[in-house]
A and B are shown apart, each in its own frame.
Chain A
Amino acid sequence: MNKVVSNVEEALQGVESGMTLMLGGFGLCGIPENSIAQLVKMGVKDLTCISNNAGVDDFGLGLLLQGRQIKKMISSYVGENDEFERQMLSGELEVDLIPQGSLAERCRAGGAGIPAFFTPAGYGTEVAEGKEVREYNGKPHILESALTADFAIVKAWKGDTEGNLVYKATARNFNPMMAMAGKITIAEVEELVPAGELDPNFIHTPGIFVQRIFKGEKFEKRIEQRTVRPKN
């Protein structure tokens, strides 16, 4: 089944104000940067964004925060974004902070048809407030519910016309689970190849989870913390 759309405009058709979006990436690594730029252009507002981080002030989801396009963020860590912290502390932005493993599993569960699960993470902390507690193997666990989204927007290294995806290195992160949990999943890829060119043994996201795929026009791939050792 051919999932290819011709460009980012076509890929994001149907995204409207007030919707819930999942966006892959960890920090700025593996974020769908072409789609984020298009969301800025479209000017959609009151978005609920599920994403591990919120970008930095002038890149990634930080661009949507600057334009006040996000109503609510569901994330695990937002440390690198001053505008985010400002909007959150002033109450302009609603924020739901979730342990990273629970966030990943909630997305996976959403895509896998599991409505909720028990996890030890967050027991005894404010994350557990209002959540059912149950003991398993002598240890308390809290009930966490699945997450889904109107659109999941992911970024992969290579994809084929069927929507099969391969990620590169640690740019995989949240992308595979989010791809599963979108009512409509959009994949932007660096390389788009004909069906049959990717080895079926080494595909990370099966194309059944992807409804639209396009080749991103350009990838800046900004590095957040450039750390190196001297050559000698």
Chain B
Amino acid sequence: MSLDKNGIAQRIAQELRDGWYVNLGIGIPTLVANYIPQGIEVEFQSENGILGMGPFPFEGEEDADLINAGKQTITAMPGAVYFDSATSFAMIRGQHVQLTVLGAMEVADNGDIANWKIPGSMVKGMGGAMDLVASADNIIVAMMHTNKKGESKLLKNCTLPLTGVGCVKKVVTNLAVLDITPEGFKLIERAPGISVEEIKNATEGRLVIEGEIPEMKLN
């Protein structure tokens, strides 16, 4: 069975390491915060100006002055810090943030990503995505393997305007975990019950399959 959004977030959370500062994008990436593995400590950065972001506030305790980059009301953990937008992107561009997780409309097998614009119909802007993907060492994309029409989102070349070139390191979808390698998407794990054949059929870009591909282990 393919994963739902929470399953994707749960699998990505297994990539977190103790002591990391992590930036989570809007959508599925935000859910990663719900699955931090036991025994490790990570701090979440939100590019609008907080390090040490906590969970949503209790009802009635919302503060209009305390939001995340998705404009959602949040709380601050003990030890949190607020800063301005230039300092925030100094953390990002300066590679002080160890992991960025973000969504995408398309990813190419060379690590190109498109996630900010559909010419003629959707132009919301790139927000902080271009700064994040241009600088982060470790970028994981969280997305569905195919779009609503059933077409692959893992492509030879992106068709939409790019957000960044050759930057994505790993893609976690409802069907699979794939690393970006010079040879293309390398299949690392399958979602529970999903066959290699199904992943092949849903992947338009170059796909590298070596040996037995294990199933993801989710709790």
Cβ-Cβ contact count across A and B, 8 Å cutoff: 185
Contact residues in B for A79 (Cβ distance below 8 Å)? 124-125
A77 lies within 8 A of B62 (CB): no
**Given A100-B89, A104-B89, A228-B57, A171 and B65 touching (CB < 8 A)?**
yes
Which residue from chain B places its CB closest to the CB of A80 in the assembled complex? B71
B93 lies within 8 A of A221 (CB): no
Which residue from chain B places its CB closest to the CB of A176 in the assembled complex? B84
Q: Does B64 contact A (CB under 8 A)?
A: yes
Give A148 Cβ to nearest chain B Cβ, in Å: 15
Interface residues of A in 91-129 (CB under 8 A from B): 95, 97, 99-105, 107-108, 119-127
Q: Does B86 contact A (CB under 8 A)?
A: yes
Q: Does A173 contact B (CB under 8 A)?
A: yes
**Given A100-B128, A123-B134, A170-B50, A228 and B85 touching (CB < 8 A)?**
no
B67 in complex: contacting residue of A107, A167, A170, CB < 8 Å? A170
B71 lies within 8 A of A224 (CB): yes
B67 lies within 8 A of A27 (CB): yes
Give CA–CA (A80, B26) in the complex, Å.
Answer: 14
Interface residues of B in 115-156 (CB under 8 A from A): 120, 123-131, 134-135
Which residue from chain A places its CB closest to the CB of B57 in the assembled complex? A228
**Given A172-B84, A228-B62, A126 and B161 touching (CB < 8 A)?**
yes
**Number of residues from A at the complex interface, CB < 8 A:** 59
Contact residues in B for A126 (Cβ distance below 8 Å)? 161-162
Q: Does A164 contact B (CB under 8 A)?
A: no
What 8 new A-B contacts, CB under 8 Å, besides A226-B62, A229-B57, A231-B58? A26-B71, A78-B125, A101-B92, A104-B86, A173-B48, A177-B85, A223-B62, A227-B56
Chain A residues at the B interface, C-beta cutoff of 8 Å: 26-30, 52, 75-80, 85, 88-89, 95, 97, 99-105, 107-108, 119-127, 157, 167-177, 204, 221-231
Can you sample 30 A-B contacts with CB below 8 Å? A27-B67, A29-B67, A76-B128, A77-B125, A78-B123, A78-B125, A80-B71, A97-B126, A100-B127, A100-B128, A101-B47, A105-B86, A105-B89, A107-B86, A108-B86, A121-B135, A122-B130, A123-B165, A124-B164, A125-B130, A125-B161, A127-B126, A170-B66, A170-B67, A173-B48, A174-B84, A176-B84, A177-B86, A224-B71, A225-B71
